[in-house]
Amino acid sequence: MLQRVYHLLLKEFLQLRRDKSARLRLLVPPILQMLLFGYAATFEVFNVATVIFDQDQTQESRALVADFVHSSRFKLVAPASDRRAVQDAVESSTAQVGIVVPQGFSELLRKGQTAPLQVLVDGTNSNTALIALGYVGQISGSYGQRYALDLAQRTGRTLGRPMVNVQLRERYWYNPNLNSRWFFIPGLIGTLTLITIVNLTAFAIVREREVGTLEQILVTPIQPIEFIIGKTLPFFLIGLFEVLIVAVFGMLWFQVPFKGNPLVLMLGTSLFLLSTLAIGLLISTVCKTQQQAFSSNFFVLNPMFILSGFSFPISSMPDALQWLTYLDPLRYFLVIIRATYLKGVGLDVLWPQMAALAALSLSLFAVAVLRLHKSLD
């Protein structure tokens, strides 16, 4: 048995060696996708198109406007001479944010009262709108604190009032600078591995069936279980190599730290690869042609990506979908890879994810082997 599996394994690697395009597909697309998503996928928002109308035209209002202009979060795109111009800019999508500093703004500040600030936000893109509105709150809040402190220093002592100031000191664990790439890059490793291995497994067996070599193999003394092991083991090894290449590239190019134990990540990756191989096998059992396999991959992989929590929080999904995410292997692997990368935790913390991934992987693989064994017979 071992000798026959060895020859099948050797056959797959020899076929990969002869197929130059297949070697390119293993290396070039994952790296290009890592670069593309690494730079494009981010929760941060910069250079939001903004129009500002300063109706007050005082030292205080100009200082507030300067805070917005000099911030990297907002970009002043057009002058506004009245409120109507601000509204027109937002309605025409010339600007996503419109800010109006009303008349009497500085007078209220000097009296120690709350000064209003009107903000118009284009809510077409709700995510960008919420983030931009949060930045407006941060900048205006910081300006208000500075002005209140300065006003207290200038007037508080002369009036005999004690000056009270509460200072908030924030500390972010595991990602001190809130770099969104530190969150996305580990997730990309799992996502790209899923796509690559499922495609390789499904297309390899379907290709054998489509060109007629599958029947030639089955008339040899090779048993179906030996064929399954010989076809999947190469992709398991390729998957480990793929994770290594993409992980090293992401760490070196995007400067994402790795604080955990490589053996813990290797164990989680191995369990995850079992599930991806099983999914590829299942697809290969229901597809007769490569076109069908491509369509099935699209139908299976997209929901897995959406339900994994890669970019959409699972806690925000409806209850029914949250229960469905427990059947998604990528959900568990994302927890494992992000925890090992950024937190440096071990099996004492990650064992529930490991156990769930092991149970799911073995179940999927058992079903896939039985299904493929039946289709081969």
Specify the pLDDT at position 336: 93
Backbone angles phi, psi at 116, to 5 degrees: -75, 155
26 and 66 assigned to the same domain: no
For residue 143, what are its two tokens? 């300006």
Spell out the per-residue pLDDT of the chain, length 377, in tens.
666 666 667 776 776 677 666 667 677 777 787 888 777 777 778 889 999 999 999 998 899 999 998 888 899 887 788 888 999 889 888 899 999 999 998 888 888 788 889 999 998 877 788 888 888 888 988 888 888 778 777 765 444 445 455 556 667 788 777 777 888 888 888 888 888 888 878 777 777 777 666 666 666 666 667 777 777 788 888 888 888 888 888 888 888 888 889 999 999 999 999 888 888 888 887 777 777 877 787 788 888 888 888 877 888 888 888 899 999 999 999 999 999 998 888 899 999 999 999 999 888 878 877 776 666 55
Does 347 fall in a domain? Answer: yes
316 and 201 assigned to the same domain: yes
Cα–Cα distance, 257 to 176 (Å, whole number): 12
Specify the pLDDT at position 252: 85
Amino acid identity, residue 38? G
Amino acid identity, residue 42? T
Between the alpha carbon of residue 222 and those of residues 130, 154, 375, the distances in Å are: 60, 90, 15
Does 37 fall in a domain? Answer: yes
151 and 279 assigned to the same domain: no
Nearest of 161, 52, 69 to residue 112 by alpha carbon: 161
Q: Which residues pair with 99 in a beta bridge?
A: 52, 119
Given a contact cutoff of 8 angstroms between Cβ atoms, the answer to whether 165 and 3 are in contact is: no
Domain count, the chain: 2
Given a contact cutoff of 8 angstroms between Cβ atoms, the answer to whether 254 and 181 are in contact is: yes
pTM: 0.77
Q: Supply the DSSP symbol for 340.
A: I
61 and 195 assigned to the same domain: no
Cα–Cα distance, 323 to 185 (Å, whole number): 26
Cα–Cα distance, 187 to 184 (Å, whole number): 5
DSSP letters of 51-96?
EEEESS-SHHHHHHHHHHHTSTTEEEEEE-SSHHHHHHHHHTTS-S
Does 170 fall in a domain? Answer: no
Cα–Cα distance, 201 to 31 (Å, whole number): 20
Backbone angles phi, psi at 198, to 5 degrees: -60, -45
279 and 320 assigned to the same domain: yes
CATH assignment at residue 127: 3.40.1710.10
Backbone angles phi, psi at 187, to 5 degrees: -65, -35
Residue with tokens 């797959």: 12
121 and 245 assigned to the same domain: no
36 and 54 assigned to the same domain: no
145 and 61 assigned to the same domain: yes
190 and 130 assigned to the same domain: no
142 and 218 assigned to the same domain: no
260 and 359 assigned to the same domain: yes
64 and 79 assigned to the same domain: yes
Does 266 fall in a domain? Answer: yes
Residue 41, SS3 per DSSP: coil
Specify the pLDDT at position 28: 77
Range of the domain at 309: 2-41+177-376
Cα–Cα distance, 357 to 333 (Å, whole number): 8
Domain stops at, among 125, 155, 185: 155
Amino acid identity, residue 151? L
Given a contact cutoff of 8 angstroms between Cβ atoms, the answer to whether 131 and 43 are in contact is: yes
Does 234 fall in a domain? Answer: yes
